[in-house]
Structure formats: C-alpha cells, structure tokens
Structure 1
C-alpha cells in the first residue's frame, strides 16, 4: 500500500467571515498551496470584526478605520493565525508593530459600482431628490458633488443585504466596489462609475497578505512574497503613501488612485468637503520603471499638494 506523504506545514489564514472575504482568503490559500507544490496547506480561520457588527452606524461613530482588521491583527500577533488576508482599503496607515504587508495579488477593477433597480445608469441620471444609500463618506461626498439635490441615507451590508434594502424601497440606489462583485461573479448587478466622477478609495480593488515576517521561516516569507503582482504592489505603495500623508481616516472624504498607463505611472487624488460643495483634486505622473521610493514620493507629493490647496487643514465629518 503506498505511503501518502503529509504536507510539511499548515498555515492558518485569518479573515472576516463575509462571503467576499472568504473568496479572497480561499484564493490566497489556493495560490500558496499551488506555489508550494503541495508542501504547504492552508486553513481558513474566520472572525467577526467590529466593522461586521455595524448595521446602521458609520465607522466614525464606532472607532473608525481599522474596525475590519483589529481582531484579525490581534490573532496574528498572538500566534492564533499565521497570516491575515485583508482588503487593502480597510487597512489603516499604521500597522501593528512587527507586522508587514508582504504581498499584493493582482488588482481587480478599482471602480465603484452603481446599483439601482429602476434602470438608471448612474448617479447623474437619478431623478431630482432621489435617495442614495451608502455608509462611505467618500462616496457620499462625491455623490453630492455631482448631484447636491440628492439625499443620502446610511446603508451597510453585503450585496444581498443592499439589494434587499433597494427592493424594500429604503433607497433608490447604492454603491458596491466592482472588485468585490468581480470576485463574487456578480458584476451584472452594477454599472461601473467612471473614475473621473468618483476616484476610488486608496487601495480599493487590492487584497493584501499581512504577517509577522521576523517570526516566520524565511522560505515561508519568500513564498508569501511570490504572491505579489508587481504593478499592483507599486500602486499600493503609492496609494498608501498618499493615505499616510493625509492621515487618512474615515473622517475625511478622500480618494487616491495610481495606475500604469503606457510609459507612465499616473496618480489622481482628491479630498472633498462632507457636503461635496468643494473638492481639492491633484494629479501627477512619473516614468514607468520608477523605484519604490519614487512611487511612494508620487503619492505623498499629491497628498502634500492637496493639503496645501486646502489651506493646511482637511475638512472632516463630525460624529452623528
């Protein structure tokens, strides 16, 4: 009878328990197993985070950015998980001491998706005084910048929950990230909003692998790093630098987006007043082939220019 060789190592992957988060974590786990040629297996460990417990509140009323990652970060710190898979847009600028973002698999569509059951093609086409449901301060401000006559109601939940809320008439439209809909194979429910209308959140469409590299075997660190998609990693670097420069939190409506176009890296960033009445937008570019430091400087520089044009103080939402 043949002897079955057991895998040499099992890695525990921490993630939120939402359908989208599970798809992302399983995708990372499958790629780790494939790249290790069966030497490593992965176990998914799910967590209900503080952000998952919110049903109607905004993040600013419940502790702000990081609510979707803290419990998982703690599990990694305490050794209950070996690594974490996060949506990059949920990761605060400051990481827990000892943790690092080791990999950025290929980015999906970074745009916002507009969803309405009335056949309307986008926020600009909604009837006067229509209601849009969103819990994102960025999406709220960007919507009001386009259509100040619209009403905004706080809308939380996954795809199915938001569709049900639309069916129940709680709003005329809502938004979801196209990247999440792609991973769930549900892009048919939404219409992409042009980035010229709504610059995405920094990191939108990117998932990342977080771990404590100094406490891991070097071969495992190298295995995780091999998950990187280089253009995605560089975009993440620029967008995170932009976020950190502006001290990005859930109190300020801001978007930042880096992408490689032909022979140039381009970056668009903006900050908006909560009611959309003013927006400070800046763009910049750098040659393809730029170093990590130059990509970070590109994002940071856009943030600096925006802060200067806004008079040094960024507009912020107040707690409800």
Structure 2
C-alpha cells in the first residue's frame, strides 16, 4: 500500500471508542475508495485513572490529550473523539476536520426493576460519572442518592448488578452504538435532563495544514450536526465549562435557524439557570456565545464561581 493511500486513525481502546472509530472508517472507505485505514490504539489519562471522579481529576483533555499529541507528532493522521470530550480550545495546528451525523443525544436510565425516574424507590441509589447528570437528577428528585460510577460503558452496565445500585444513567447514543439489547427504563426527556455539549456526536480531529486528510475526512461531515455542535461548544467556551461544571446544552437546526437551550446547575440541584436562544445558522457560534453571556448575567456567574471554589481544593493532580 502506497504511503499516500494509507491513513492512520487514532482511537482510544475501549469497546465503544473502537466501535465509533470502525464506523468512521467504514464511512470513509465507502466515500473514498482506494484508501486504506489502520487503527492506532492510544490510552488516555481518563482511561488509566478509573478510581476517581472525573470532577476531581482536574485539567482538560482527559480523553483527548494523548491522541492530540500523536496527531501533532505525525504518528497518526486523524483522531476520532466523542465530541463531548473535545476541549473548546484546540491545540495550535489542529482543527476539527469533520463532525459526522449525530446519534440520539438523550441520556438513558437503566434501573433494576425497569422503573422510570418518577417510580424509583425513595432514596434510590443512582450511579453516574457526570456532575451534569447528578445536578439535574437532584433537581428532579432531591431524595436520590448519587454515587460515582467510572469505567467504560460495559463496566458501568455491570456495576448496576454488582454495586448495590437501583439505577444508572448513561448516554443513549453509547447504548445504541454498542448494540445494547437489554431493557432501557427511560429515555430521559430534555425537560428533565439536557445532555452534555456535543453528546451523541463525534469529532474527527486533524492537522490544520493537512489538505490530503482534510479532503478525505470532510466527506463525512454533516452540516446540521456541525452547526448544532458549533453553537453548543461556543456556549461552553464562554462558560469555561468542563467535567467540574454541571452544564447541559442542546442545539438543533430547522430551515436556516439554530435553536439552542442550556442549563447551569448547582451541584446539589437546588438552583438552576435555564435559558434558550435562536438565530441564523450562519451565526451558530454567536448564538452560543450570546446565550452564555445572558446566562452568566442572570445568575450563572455566581453558580459557576461557587462550584469552582468548592472543587478547587478537591482536585487530585494525579
């Protein structure tokens, strides 16, 4: 195989990550006949440390940094990420080359007795690795006991049986991608739980001076998904959010307009700022930025300040 026809694809090594990467490769092969794709598995900090909550690990790029380093060093040609893991500020020299069509962005509840959130028992024990999910669950039912749940998707599903939990909350997109055939107790509606920025989407990251690779990966870019994720990521960038901050957002396009809804919660779910904004798709980033500024002015700044103060002393620099 001639070197110019070979593309090295960087991926995390989890089952879900490899399923996502193989899907990307199958689409790229279909649209770019004659090219060959080879997977390079790369372990990230977030993969290696599974005994601490994400909110305590600190920093950004927990699931992307090592892939980006390999990309910058030329060891891989593209990196396949879950969009929700990608920092809002990319390393200089890198860019998002494509955002493929989005999978369903909802969160999903899986419970032992197949009960939905309303029918779970008093003081139900729910596992989740996400502060965003924790805050919105407590806003819905303050009696819930939220326990930290780390590990890949398969591990988290097994812990429902082994860790004395009543339920777990995970991304519906992940369940769909791994072909999960078990019962799903509830697809949690957006009025109860807004998803993470970019949830259900993939980002294909490349070097910004690599015209050959850009031409290949841009073939799987989905315009509507890219616009929606751009609006969500602009909001997150202005809020300077990450794993330590309970922020949810979801954008969708209709005709030539983008509609964005977002929430900022206190960790205990006691208080939340929820708002929405819309405008032309050509100004998706501006829509996200404007909504973030409005939310900050309407109480979001105080919530975020309190959360960061709370977690500053608890971050483990591991």
Q: TM-score, normalised by structure 1?
A: 0.91
Shift of residue 125, structure 1, vs aligned partner: 2.0
**Quick check: 1:17–1:47 contact (8 Å CA) kept in 2?**
yes
Answer yes or no: is 1:196 the counterpart of 2:196. Answer: no
Cα distance in 2 for partners of 1:168, 1:65 equals 31
Which residue in the other structure is 1:280 paired with?
Answer: 273
Which residue in the other structure is 1:93 paired with?
Answer: 88
**Quick check: 2:262–2:274 contact (8 Å CA) kept in 1?**
yes
- Map 1:71-110 → 2, pairs under 5 A: 71-110=66-105
- Map 1:38-53 → 2, pairs under 5 A: 38=34, 40-53=35-48
**Quick check: 1:7–1:41 contact (8 Å CA) kept in 2?**
no
Point out where structure 2 has 5 or more consecutive residues left out of the alignment.
none
Cα distance in 1 for partners of 2:153, 2:300 equals 39
Cα distance in 2 for partners of 1:28, 1:41 equals 13
Answer yes or no: is 1:309 the counterpart of 2:298. Answer: yes
Q: 2:5 aligns with which of 9, 34, 41?
A: 9
Question: Which SS does the other structure have where 1:284 is aligned?
Answer: strand
Task: Please report the RMSD computed on the Cα atoms of aligned residues, expressed in angstroms.
Answer: 1.8
- Map 1:138-217 → 2, pairs under 5 A: 138-186=132-180, 188-190=182-184, 191-214=186-209, 216=210
Cα distance in 2 for partners of 1:262, 1:220 equals 30
Q: Cα distance 1:279–1:204, how it changes in 2: closer, same or farther (>3 A)?
A: same
Cα distance in 2 for partners of 1:112, 1:276 equals 17
Q: Larger % of helix: which? A: 2
C-alpha deviations, 1:129-159, integer Å up to 9, x for none?
Answer: 1111111000000010011111111111233
Q: Cα distance 1:312–1:163, how it changes in 2: closer, same or farther (>3 A)?
A: closer
Question: Which SS does the other structure have where 1:51 is aligned?
Answer: helix
Cα distance in 2 for partners of 1:54, 1:139 equals 20
C-alpha deviations, 1:217-236, integer Å up to 9, x for none?
Answer: x2431221121011001011
Which residue in the other structure is 2:219 paired with?
Answer: 226
Q: Cα distance 1:162–1:21, how it changes in 2: closer, same or farther (>3 A)?
A: same
C-alpha deviations, 1:149-196, integer Å up to 9, x for none?
Answer: 111111112333222211124311111111111111216442310011
**Quick check: 1:56–1:154 contact (8 Å CA) kept in 2?**
no
Aligned residues: 308
Cα distance in 2 for partners of 1:136, 1:257 equals 16
Answer yes or no: is 1:137 the counterpart of 2:124. Answer: no
Question: Which SS does the other structure have where 2:275 is aligned?
Answer: strand
Which residue in the other structure is 2:236 paired with?
Answer: 243
Cα distance in 2 for partners of 1:120, 1:261 equals 34
Higher alpha-carbon deviation: 180-189 or 71-80: 180-189
Q: 2:285 aligns with which of 274, 296, 319?
A: 296
Shift of residue 22, structure 1, vs aligned partner: 0.3
Q: Cα distance 1:304–1:83, how it changes in 2: closer, same or farther (>3 A)?
A: same
Q: TM-score, normalised by structure 2?
A: 0.92
Cα distance in 1 for partners of 2:2, 2:183 equals 43
Cα distance in 2 for partners of 1:59, 1:77 equals 25
